[in-house]
Amino acid sequence: MNQMTICLIIFILTLLAYAFLSSRVSMAVISLISVAALMLTGCMDPNDALGCFANSSAILMASMFVVSAGLNRTQMVKKISSFICRISKGSFTKVLAGYVILTCILAQFIPSAASCFSVVFPLAYGVCKEMKISPSKMMFSLGITAIGTVITLPFSSSVSEMARIQGFLEAYEYTDYHMSIMDIMYAKTPVMIVILLLAIFVVPRFAPDKATAEAELEVEKDEETRKLGPVREFIGYATFVCVLIGLLFSSKIGIPTWEIAFIGALVIAASGILNKKELIDSMNLSMVLLFIGALAIGTALSGTGVADMIGNHLSGIILGVHNNYIAGLIFFLVPFVLTQFMLNLGIYSIFVPLYIMICKSMGANPIGPIMLCMIASMTAFFTPLATPAVPQMMGAGNYTVKDLVKMGWIPFVVITVVSVFWIMTIYPIF
């Protein structure tokens, strides 16, 4: 049995464990067992596995959890939440709409869905507490907005992505077609609008109503007895604001987002805003470990050639299809399915060059397939394996994988139909 087959078996068993054992065994434990199995079977080098623990996204996740907890310990969140409740007149839909739109706006300037979600969710969590609504009713909506609307409007992140795609076209000497900054906006704007509508009006109907976890209830009780002094109060919200500004302009100041978040977490810890127990609880280590395990599994799948194998089969299928919409559906579904189980940036980096080569061999326009690949690989919300934003969302909303599937199947169908129909209409392949 070769390593590719062994890796696929471990992967399938991990998915089954997520689906049927997560109520009894922590998903973080399942993930780490899978990593151990990959190393023991030789599917993954131990050094590569250990490298996942130092991954910048994992550090970003844990750090932003701490920064967000520090903000939640201040009175600022309560004041903002009370103000929002007053102007919304107690309407959950209006509050949700406001936060969804805020998330969408931030996603145009912060190219990381995880960073974007980290900024919004503590404010939304505070409103949920104020309105006595379970965070589980709101967090999935914010999560899919952060994941699905990133890099849409022609701002900084879209410019860099356009340059990246144009670089792929030039590298593969397919200069008959050029990528412009407006192509991304034209392709993704209808999808963005659809995601906003789904997040506000559809997803909450399927969202579970889950009680606050016991650990969180204990923290809330402690907050009532341990008020922060004016200095720590100021440090708490000043740190959050500085981290937000840093995330928005990280490319300008030349500091990686994970370093900005890590510095913010150090300030929160050093200032004593969170006590030792609160600090440890706030990191949400189970979700961080879940992401690390998921990252390792995705790395192993890519390293053993699973993605390349699928890509080669896809090439043969596409060459035999002469209908724009059928071809577009295939171009969309393959990376969409794969990105639920492998890191989305990895899938994107593999399939964009592949799609360019397929289109070049057919003499076809590659812009449509590239846009479909971008949307597909950036709408991963069914499993925690694709993007750090999903484990964050699961931790904030106390979701299981079954919850994600229940809430996500309608957005999946709608996003697929809209993406394929719209993009294949404005950027036909044939």
Is 356 found in the same domain as 232? no
Do 240 and 67 meet the contact criterion of CB atoms below 8 Å apart? yes
410 and 316 within one domain: yes
Asked which of 284, 314, 337 is the last residue of a domain, the reply is 284
pLDDT at 74: 79
pLDDT digits (tens, 9 = 90+) for 226-243: 577 888 888 988 898 898
How many angstroms separate the CA atoms of 397 and 403, rounded? Answer: 10
Give domain status of residue 187, yes or no.
no
Structural domain includes residue 298: no
Select the more confidently predicted residue: 215 or 289: 289
Of 287, 259, 261, residue with least CA distance to 119: 261
What confidence tens digit (pLDDT) does each residue in 148-165 have? 998 888 765 666 677 778
Percent of the residues in the chain that have a pLDDT greater than 90, as a whole number: 23
Average pLDDT, the chain: 82
Residue 112 domain-assigned? yes
Contacts of 368 (CB under 8 A, 6+ apart): 187, 328, 331, 423, 424, 426, 427, 428, 429
Query: What tens digit of pLDDT does each residue of 413-425 get?
Result: 999 999 999 999 9
| In contact, 359 and 369? CB cutoff 8 Å | yes
**pLDDT the model gives residue 160:** 62
The answer to whether residue 41 sits within a structural domain is no
Domain boundary (229, 253, 284) is at 284
One domain for residues 412 and 325: yes
pLDDT reported for residue 401? 84
Could you tell me if residue 316 is inside a domain? yes
In this structure, are 280 and 361 located in the same domain? no
* Confidence at residue 400, expressed as pLDDT on a 0 to 100 scale: 87
pLDDT band at residue 372, thresholds of 50, 70 and 90? very high
User: Is residue 409 within 8 Å of residue 138, measured between CB atoms?
Assistant: no
Mean pLDDT of 259-269: 91
Same domain, 374 and 275: no
- Are residues 109 and 229 part of one domain? yes
First to last CA, the chain: 41
Would the pTM count as exceeding 0.75?
A: no
Predicted local distance difference test score (pLDDT) of residue 169: 83
More confident of the two residues 146 and 211: 146
Locate all alpha helices (DSSP H) within 198-229, ordered by sequence: 203-206, 214-225
Q: What distance in Å separates the CA atoms of residue 273 and residue 73, rounded to the nearest whole number? A: 7
Structure tokens at 227: 């008020």
Short-list 335, 356, 310, CA closest to 419? 335
Residues 220 and 261 in one domain: yes
- 219 with 326, same domain? no
Task: State yes or no: pLDDT of 324 exceeds 70.
Answer: yes
CB 230 within 8 A of CB 91: no
| Residue 15: pLDDT over 60 | yes
309: how many CB neighbours lie within 10 A of its CB? 12
Q: Are 149 and 195 spatial neighbours (Cβ–Cβ below 8 Å)?
A: yes
325 and 248 in a common domain: no
Same domain, 222 and 337: no
Number of domains in the chain: 2
Statement: residue 195 has pLDDT above 90: yes
Domain termination residue (choose one: 284, 316, 348): 284
Sign of the four-CA dihedral 318, 321, 322, 328: negative
Query: Are residues 369 and 355 in contact, defined by beta-carbon separation less than 8 angstroms?
Result: yes
d(CA 292, CA 388): 9
Does the residue 6 lie in any domain? Answer: no
Helix axes 75-88, 56-72, angle to 10 degrees: 80
Can you tell me whether residue 175 is helix, strand or coil?
coil
Helices (H), 41-155: 46-53, 56-72, 75-88, 92-107, 113-131, 139-148
Burial (Cβ within 10 Å: 0-12, 13-18, ≥19) of residue 177 = middle
Residue 11: pLDDT over 60: yes
Let me know whether 115 and 170 are in one domain: no
Contact of 210 with 134, CB cutoff 8 Å? yes
Co-location of 247 and 387 in the same domain: no
Residue burial 381-418, b: 16+ Cβ < 10 Å; e: rest: bbbbbbbbbbbbbbbbbbbbbebbeebbeebbebbbeb
Q: Which residue range is the domain that position 244 belongs to? A: 56-150+207-284
What token pair was written down for 261? Answer: 């978040």
